Structure 1
Amino acid sequence: MLENLDLQQVMVLDIETVPQYSSFEEVPDVFKQLWELKTRSARKEGETPDEYYPRAGIMAEFGKIVCISVGIFTKHNEQVGLRVKSFAGDNECHLLSEFISLLDKQPPNFTLCAHNGKEFDFPYLCRRTLINELCIPSQLRISGKKPWEINHLDTMDLWKFGDYKNYTSLNLLAAVFNIPTPKDDINGSDVHWVYWKEKDVERIKTYCQKDVITTAQLLLKFKSLPLMADENIVIV
């Protein structure tokens, strides 16, 4: 499949998510009860719903998207490059609308690629799109489609080679394939703090863009192609 993959028909993406409220105290009572039920089996013994709430961002029913970064491959003089763009801010409906508008300009069979995208990014985007009363773009619709009709690539899924017990982080694969990555000052577990306490969306956007670039480089490795040079990666 990857041998025939046209990189210029691929969009690499990553999303960053946070809890919908800055603290558990602000959550409406009905959702406090639902959160307690939803997380009962996931919480450690003695861990309260309040203590577990910083993880609410990973669940589309209790979280929201604060950044979507995308990368589209380019080619100039036989050199592969990447154009990276981000949609970020407090207004989730607005940034989703902008992202959907970009997808609507692409062919319906445009391929979307993300690390752990099938388990997280793609379904999360669909759920939050519906919650915001927006129309799911054709590239994200999978209902009624046969597996080979779904143009979704997941670099974590590609690395499994059929081993469904295996979870491998993007950072680990970057290290394994010697993909240089900048020293990050935050990681995924810090995003909710940076958003709600520091109110630094730009910092989150930078972190999200780095993941898009790393995922794109990893896809090149899977295709046995050389890594992109820094000067061929443009943030717009």
Structure 2
Amino acid sequence: MLTKISLENILFLDIETVPEHDNFDALDPTKKELWAHKTQYQRKEDFSPEEFYDRAGIWAEFGMIVCISVGYFTFKGNTRSFRVTSIHGEEKDLLNEFKNLLETHYNEPYKLLCGHNAKEFDFPFIARRMIIHGIRLPTKLNLFGKKPWEIPHLDTMELWKFGDYKHYTSLKLLTNILNIPSPKDDIDGSMVCHVFYVEKDIDKIVTYCEKDVIAVAQIFLRLRGQDILDDSEIKHV
């Protein structure tokens, strides 16, 4: 049961990704061909490979991570707080910093990672980008040979499915129906590429990413039947 998991043993996280280059023409001819082939089903006849390139951030083979935000609970007596921080900068550097965080503070078997749709996106994206950069996977992301019950990952979307494998619920919808303040009040995922490459405003992306982490933690609390966080309990560090 979720209530048996200590909140202090969970690292909540979210990532923001963009295309690896600012425009399609920056790809070499081979990569352009591979991109066209990779996306032919999604594009159909509606978009050319070039027109579709602004969505390259959703594929680890063609995108990169520009921010990883994490949050964790701390307790002092009956007082709880949720601390949020972010890692950004050059992708290889931020991946190494995130790996160090996992290995230093979340390496024990009972420590868990949690995100929304993270089993389908965030966790595999991080792992693939680490491998691309030649970074040895930390234990928490190395799933080879592990049985399902040995995988230290929680996913609020999966928890909301209650076994309904075909069901998809966005973070925005879930926060709405659970009466949680929406994190989507400034930008959304489709705008991150523009904010990064055109506006060059990483702080706006960090704020957006941290709001998603807070939303995931709030959903997890609701799933446990607990009161959600108020603003005074949230600390940005």
Alignment pair present for 1:174 and 2:175: yes
Secondary structure at the counterpart of residue 116 of structure 1: coil
Contact residue 16 and residue 208 of structure 1 kept, 8 A: yes
1:182 is displaced (CA, Å) by 5.3
Whole-angstrom distance in 2 between the partners of 1:152 and 1:199 = 32
- C-alpha distance in 1 between matches for 2:91 and 2:33: 24
Query: 1:14: how far off?
Result: 0.2
Q: Which residue of 1 aligns with 2:4?
A: 4
Pair 1:158-2:159 in alignment: yes
Corresponding residue for residue 122 of structure 2:
121
SS in 2 for 1:84: strand
TM-aligned CA deviation for residue 88 of structure 1: 1.0
Aligned to 2:198: 197
1:79 is displaced (CA, Å) by 3.2
Is residue 81–residue 233 contact of structure 1 (8 Å, CA) maintained in 2? yes
TM-score by length of 2: 0.96
Give the whole-Å Cα distance in 1 for the aligned partners of 2:135 and 2:188.
Answer: 30
Q: Cα offset for 1:44?
A: 3.3
Matched-pair identity in %: 51
Q: What whole-Å deviation, never above 9, does each CA across 1:109-160 have from its counterpart, x for those lacking one?
A: 2100000000000000000011111111111111111111111000000001
- CA deviation after TM superposition for structure 1 residue 211, in Å: 0.1
Deviation, 1:183, is 5.8
* Counterpart in the other structure of 1:93: 92
The 3-state SS of whatever aligns with 2:199 is coil
Counterpart residue type for residue 95 of structure 2: L
State the 1:47 CA deviation.
1.4
Question: Judging changes above 3 Å, is the alpha-carbon distance between structure 1 residues 187 and 46 closer, same or farther for their aligned structure 2 residues?
Answer: closer
AA aligned to 2:96 is S
Q: What SS class does the counterpart of residue 80 from structure 1 fall into? A: strand
Structure 2 residue aligned with 1:66:
66
In the alignment, the residues of structure 1 paired with residue 184 and residue 137 of structure 2 have an alpha-carbon distance, to the nearest angstrom, of 35
C-alpha separation in 1, matches of 2:44 and 2:198:
25
SS at match of 1:118: coil
Distance 1:119 1:80 in 2: 30
Please report how far the alpha carbon of residue 194 of structure 1 lies from its aligned counterpart in structure 2 after TM superposition: 0.5
TM-score by length of 1: 0.97
Q: How far, CA to CA, are the matches of 1:102 and 1:161 in structure 2? A: 31
Q: For the residues of structure 1 that align with 2:120 and 2:78, how far apart are their CA atoms?
A: 34
Which moved further from structure 2: 38-47 or 113-122? 38-47
Structure 1 CA distance, aligned partners of 2:117 and 2:192?
18
Structure 1 vs Structure 2 CA RMSD:
1.1
